[in-house]
Chains A and B, each alone.
Chain A
C-alpha cells in the first residue's frame, strides 16, 4: 500500500466552525446584542486532528453517524473549506459529486447548464463541448436537452447532473451520499460507471450510510465519531466497530 503514489493526504487536519448564537427575541435584546458587538458565539470542531492517506486507485468509504464530520472531510478534500489547521494535498484532477446539480440554473436549458456546470467544476469549454454528446446520451435526456431544466422530472435532473459530473474523466472522484437518488435502473448505471472508474485506476472517496455499498465496493473504510477517526481498515472490520458503537449508544440511551 505504501508503494503506490498517494492521491489524497490529510495531515493533522482540524476544521473549526464559529457557531453564532443570535436569536434575539425582542427588539431590546437585539439592541443590547448589537451594542455588545455580537459576543455570543462558540467554536465547534467538526473535524479534530484527522490524518490519513489515500493511495492512488483506492476506493475509500467514510462512515459514521450524522454530524461525525464525514461531509466536512469531503469538503476539505474538494477544496470548499480551507481547514483551520493542518495540511491537505490532492494529487490530480478532482470531481466533486457533493450535491448533484448544485450549479444548475432552472431557467437555463440542459445544454446551457452542461456548459455552466462544467466550467464551474474547472473544465474548459473545449473539454465540455467535446463530451457534450456523451453526457446527453448517458443522461437519456433526448430532445429535452434544449428545454429549461425546470421542466425536467427530478430523475432527468439527477441523471444529467451525474452525467456532467462524471463524464469529464476526473482522476479523483468524491461522492457524498448521492447514490441514494434515482430509480434502481439509474442507480445500477451509476454504479456501473463507478466500477469503470475503479477499473481505470481512479481514486474514489465516498460518504454513505449504506453499509452494504461500503462492504461491496470499497477497499477500505474509515469510521468517524465526533470529528475524530476511530477506526481505519478493511470495510468489514470497520463496519463491525461502527455497529458496536451504535449498539453502545442505544444501550446508553435506555
Chain B
C-alpha cells in the first residue's frame, strides 16, 4: 500500500513537472497525424462527422433497429470507446517507438503514454462538436445533461491512462502485447453494450456483463446524451473506483519496470 501511495505522489508530481513536455508531445502527435493533408486539423472534425453520416445512413435505411435515433444512441458511446481504443493502440507502442530517445536522453518515461492519451482526448473533445450538431439535425432532443459530460470524461481519461501505462510497459518486454491488445479490444468492443443496449442481454446473464469495468465508465455518456438522464450515485462511484484502480495498478507496474525499459527497447 505504501508503494502505491508513493507511486501516486510521483505520478502527480511528474505530471505537473513535465506538463509542458507532455503537452508539446501531444501536439506533435496531432500535428504529425494531420500533416501533409490538405485539410489538416479539420480532419479531427471531419473524420467523426463523416463517420456519423455513414452510421446514420446505414442504421436509418439498411439496418433498422427498434431504437429511435439509433445514431445518437450509438455515437454517444462509440466516440468515448474510440478514444479508449485509440489511446491504447497508440500508447502500447509509446515506449518502444521512442526507444531511440530513451536510449539517448534521460527523459521521464511516463510522458510518452500520457502524451498519447492527451492527444486522443483532444480528438475526443473535437469529435463531440459534430455530435452536438448531429443531435438537433436528427431531431433528437438536446438535453441539459450534456453539461454533466466532464464527469464521465474525467473517469474515462483516468481509466484509459491506467490501462495505457500497463500496456505500454508490458509491450516493452513482450512485443506480442501490441498484437494481443488489438484482439482484446475487438472482443471487448462486442462484449460492451455499445452497439446494443444492456437490456438486450437476458436478465440472468446481465451480471456477467456488469463485471466489465468500462461499462460504468462510459455509461454516463449514453445517459447524458441519449436519455437526458444522470447516472445514479452507485454507478458514478463504481466508475471512479474502476478508473482509479486502473490508474493505481497500471502506474505502479509501469513505475516498477521503467528503469529497465532502456535495456529492452
Contacts and interface: CB of A to CB of B under 8 A. Distances in A.
Contact of B20 (A18, A105, A124): A124
A119 B21 contact: yes
Given A81-B262, A119-B21, A120-B21, A96 B104 contact: yes
Nearest to A77: B106
Given A18-B263, A119-B21, A102 B105 contact: yes
Contacts, number: 52
Contact of A120 (B35, B103, B107, B262): B107
Nearest to B22: A119
Interface stretch (A108-116, A180-188, A197-205, A238-246): A108-116
Contacts of B20: 119, 124-125
B100 interface: yes
Contacts of A121: 105
A101 to B, nearest CB: 10
A237 interface: no
Contacts of A18: 263
Contacts of A247: none
B256 to A, nearest CB: 13
Contacts of A102: 100-101, 104-105
A116 B105 contact: no
Contact count band on B = 20 to 34
Contacts of A79: 106
Nearest to A101: B104
Interface residue SS majority, chain B: helix
Interface string B97-113: 00011111111000000
A166 B100 CA distance: 21
A52 interface: no
Interface string B203-245: 0000000000000000000000000000000000000000000
Interface string A125-149: 1000000000000000000000000
Given A18-B263, A115-B24, A116-B25, A107 B105 contact: no
A80 interface: yes
B140 interface: no
B174 to A, nearest CB: 10
B31 interface: yes
B24 A103 contact: no
B263 A116 contact: no
A123 to B, nearest CB: 9
Contacts of B179: none
Most buried by B among A81, A96, A115, A120: A120
Interface in B12-29: 20-21, 24-25, 28
Contacts of A96: 104-106
B199 interface: no
Interface in A40-60: none
Contacts of A116: 24-25, 28
Nearest to A124: B20
B3 interface: no
Nearest to B259: A82
A207 B129 CA distance: 54
A119 B101 CA distance: 13
A119 B263 CA distance: 23
B28 A103 contact: no
A17 interface: yes
Nearest to A98: B104
B180 interface: no
A132 to B, nearest CB: 14
Contact of B262 (A80, A108, A119): A80
Interface of B: 20-21, 24-25, 28, 31-32, 35-36, 100-107, 259, 262-263
7 contacts: A79-B106, A80-B103, A80-B106, A102-B100, A102-B104, A116-B25, A119-B24
Given A18-B263, A112-B28, 11 more contacts: A80-B104, A80-B105, A96-B105, A102-B101, A103-B101, A107-B35, A107-B36, A119-B20, A120-B105, A124-B20, A125-B20
